[in-house]
Chains A and B, each alone.
Chain A
């Protein structure tokens, strides 16, 4: 007994380890889930203890449970704790767990930055290694940005073990933070070129493997399928770089086509595609044709067929030397029964016939034969895909009918009654081209005294066309009746012996040219065409107000259906298909598919497919030997002949020239193979002055697109990687005045500092590198100096620093503002005086209550002078080397005055009809409009972004705007690291008069079930010519519960499940006297309260939304006679109550 107790207590003391857990799970096969849940409870207890060993043990077990599919994200913080242990044993466990379950959405990942940095710089290489390995799995854009520089340093670590890991992880860093690629590239390149024994084994491997793999494939009885497959795969990759080395293994690859494993056969086919040359094309295709004959099962045969066509047609028929051969190959392929790829063959026929003029005669002859033997192609199975070929055949015969030997016979073949069984679109082509043939026949027999033949043809048409006039296909019917009438008319004329041939031929005159598929896209936009501009007056305000809600709602809908499409699983699809079939069966307007044709498709065996024996008497095939083989033979003979001739020539030459040109005697080189016929391949037409653009081939979703960076461009200062520097260093940086003490600029300074450090490094590097570079650099500097005055060069550099990445958005905005201001200065100085005049003249009118702008009127002229004086002063100042914010400010100043014109001319921007922007606060200077925007739905559970539009209504310049909010317990304004809880945030721009700009502020919110109001103030400096005053504007930010909702689509089945689950609590709301159409009502709820419509039936709709913290909110909205009742359910009753209140308020307003 005693021992049992002791054992129990020891158990509790030392807990289960991983092995015990696994053993336990294995011993509890029946109630595994229950056992694991008790284990998880134990683990939770263990995690609460202070002992790091116990914690690590618990985390280790969690890693195992994670593998079994248990969500362990709740322990993320404990994992971080274990990661930060100083012992390698525990650290390793922590990082392993993190790499298994951390991802971009894990919030604690932010906490790891410093720990990882510490580990990366640890003296123990395995600490570093473990950190790198872990980081490679859960690196986020933020981590990548913060740690890029540390990893870069590791690339030159003393231990190769660390170096290679650092080099590999850089790839992940680039993917997450592409900006780091350019600055890191030189060092990376250096590393890769460096013959480091640790990292370059791979490239050697390629070569070694190539040889080994070739040897292995050739083993006949090789059960090492993997090698075979991989060898083929490897070859296809090697092919791209070293085509010659692979081409020599052609026979081996052809053997692989006999393999019983389909994966290998398909891979071999892929490989063949890249291997063909002018020389071996015919041979390869011949082998493939043999396989086509042998191949059983339509999928593989279809694959073969497409590959043959791909191989032949690749790069604009580059490898085809004899198009007659190709046409015969295509004709032979038509013998394939039951293939889906009839249209492919057809399009190839059309393509060749249209683009290779020399081949038309031959093609037309072949097509005429095909048409004549159409019954063989179509057989009983009229739904057979191969009959598509007849489409091409008919068109070619009609279009190039001048090449036909006996158009009359072909015409007869095209009008056989059997044609009526072909699919409609083919019949239509038949009818149309019969007319073309008719025209040719007429022309041929024109002028003959006995126009018997012509009259017979007319009669034939008149006899046969009525069959098509009765066709069920609209297109066929229309064309047939039209042509029938035409022929009847012509017959009348013929009887009067009127010559009509020319006029009839004129109907079909003109040649069709192939057009490149991208041609339309490449048509350049004509000058002066602005597609965004209104052609007519834009509709008036009132109209759009009515329209807008509708549009918003309509927009929602298609989005739903599209996403729904992608989500539908196969079961659902099958079900829908069934329903549709049922519907169609009951609908008399649907023609039911004949059961016979369906059978043919369903039959697994080949017995059902009637094997068409091509009659040997039919001239489609040379008896005993397929036609294409004949060409192959001919070709070989021809080549040998040529070779012989060439040898003779060469001998002669050699006799003449001696032994000079021994080297180029390679008799098999590509150039030697001359095409059998002189062919000119008509290239596809492109519009005139088409824009050369290759970018349209790129996939916009390619994850590597971000890495599409020009690596040769010199590094801009702003692209430097952020490096951590210490605060003391900051203080050392040149003193700055009040303006720039604000936080964003502080970070900019940091980067500026770091940039300087970097520069030093760089210079060292450069010293090492060649002198040339130095010269270049000097040259560049000189250029800079030339461009701007010396002092300005310093300034411009400083402004560049301001654009450093850490606060990229604000920096960008700042740069934008700067640029605008600078531009204004550049364009406006001449009119500056005038501008000032207007400003003083118009300002009092436009802003009568403007307190500051009470300038005495007599200063008009003096002001003018002042301006001038000021300019002079400024120039002096410039020479005195100013700080950049002075410069900045000055620009702002001047710009401010200059743009007064704009400020007064432009009216206040009207708010869009349905907008979430609402007025936050305004006074005579500034107007704030704010919107609550929700950021990061699932990843950032507690972030709300408030976008505030600041609009300067005064005609003074507003600067140093600082935004501050009194934080509540629940909602806090996010301030940059290191800032106090009451510090204000600097608005990252200044406002010239009349200008508005938008700033975003991030708030962290804890509870979202209650609406909240936050008091805040905006302080700013109003700067006019004479004075600058501090002003203040109070405002209240209202965080409604609605603003925590995110529009989330929901499918009706999921919605139903959600409601059934019973976790939701209900509430309801009644709105009386709502006098608007139901869809307007829904649109309003959708727009203002971020709901989406799940389903709508008549005057009843279900809607869904989700809070940023994952609460489900479901609404059922019903309407009848101006009364709207809303039944709502949500897992958080107080949130629901507040949302309903807000909805009520929305509708009480209108």
Chain B
């Protein structure tokens, strides 16, 4: 089982967190800090596996991570050998693929994965992730299938108008206007106000 998926940057700032076991928020932050500490001190040319930190369950859990540009993708998985051990085996092997799939899917959906995309579209990343891992279990590893499902859902959202529908987009365009320009506009506006007053028909 996957216990948690953490994505954070080189400074340990969380970019996406997904816990499949409940931890209170402050605990989650501590886990992120601890994991970052464990992962960031490792060389890039050693293997990508290490024992989990004490907060997330110690040596019963493994941290499996990849370092992509400015981002760390960390999956925390258990290694308990239970009756369902064989299931875990399948999941563990798929795991690596899964990491690949996840990153590659991100590539496709965002054209090129970059930290900023993740920051501003955390919700979208979550939706993609949900199609790959469900409740700590690997759901789908076929990239085409995942992309297809994500796109169908996005299309559905568009047909509903989406959360950031047309008016909202217009608003954000207004908001994005450079403020220093606004006084100038106002000045022009004053003139403009004058103009109609000058030429009333």
Contacts and interface: CB of A to CB of B under 8 A. Distances in A.
Interface of A: 1-4, 7, 10-11, 13-14, 17-20, 22-23, 26, 53, 56-57, 60, 63-64, 66-72, 87-90, 92-93, 96, 100-101, 103-104, 126, 129-130, 132-133, 135-137, 139, 161, 164-165, 168-169, 171-172, 201-203, 205-206, 209, 223, 225-230, 233-234, 237-238, 241, 261, 263-264, 702, 704, 707-708
Given A14-B171, A205-B97, A168 B137 contact: yes
Contact of B189 (A2, A66, A226): A2
B122 to A, nearest CB: 6
B38 interface: no
Nearest to B96: A230
A2 B183 CA distance: 11
A964 B168 CA distance: 56
Contact of A104 (B22, B66, B163): B22
Contacts of B97: 205
Contacts of A228: 47
B186 A201 contact: no
Contact of A126 (B46, B48, B153): B153
A interface secondary structure, majority: helix
B168 A201 contact: no
A755 B143 CA distance: 43
A202 B142 CA distance: 10
A132 B163 contact: no
A225 B122 contact: no
5 contacts: A11-B171, A11-B175, A101-B25, A168-B137, A202-B94
Interface in B37-85: 45-50, 64, 66, 80, 82-85
A767 B101 CA distance: 44
Contacts of A103: 22
A18 B121 CA distance: 8
Nearest to A164: B139
A17 B163 contact: yes
A165 B83 contact: no
A88 B163 contact: no
Contacts of A171: 137
B123 interface: yes
Contacts of B167: 14
Contact of A63 (B93, B96, B122): B122
Contact of A264 (B47, B85, B90, B91): B47
A235 B84 CA distance: 17
B185 interface: yes
Contacts of B138: 202
Task: Rank and list the top 6 A-B pairs by shortest CB-CB distance, nearest first.
Answer: A136-B135, A225-B47, A103-B22, A237-B89, A69-B29, A229-B47
B88 to A, nearest CB: 8
A87 B153 CA distance: 12
A71 B23 CA distance: 11
Interface of B: 14, 16-18, 20, 22, 24-26, 28-29, 45-50, 64, 66, 80, 82-86, 89-97, 119-120, 122-123, 126-127, 130, 134-142, 149, 152-153, 156-157, 160-165, 167-168, 171-172, 174-175, 182, 185-186, 189
Contacts of B186: 1-4
Nearest to A102: B22
Contact of B123 (A3, A18, A206): A18
A67 B17 contact: yes
A225 B46 contact: yes
Contacts of B165: 53
B47 A226 contact: yes
A1123 B163 CA distance: 68
B74 to A, nearest CB: 13
A526 B96 CA distance: 56
Interface hub of A10, A135, A238, A707 (most chain B Cβ within 10 A):
A10
A577 B122 CA distance: 46
B70 to A, nearest CB: 15
A22 B136 CA distance: 27
Scoring A11, A14, A234, A707 by chain B CB atoms within 10 A of each residue's CB, the highest score goes to A14
A4 B160 CA distance: 31
A125 to B, nearest CB: 9
Contacts of B172: 17, 19-20
A161 B167 CA distance: 34
Given A63-B126, A135-B135, 4 more contacts: A11-B171, A18-B120, A26-B119, A63-B122
B135 A168 contact: yes
Nearest to A225: B47
A168 B139 contact: yes
A53 B122 contact: no
Contacts of B92: 230, 233-234, 237
A1075 B185 CA distance: 87
Contacts of B119: 22, 26
A68 B14 contact: yes
Contact of A263 (B46, B185, B189): B46
Contacts of A69: 25-26, 28-29
B134 A169 contact: yes
A230 B91 CA distance: 12
Given A2-B189, A70-B25, A226-B49, A136 B122 contact: no
Contacts of A704: 82-84
B89 A137 contact: no
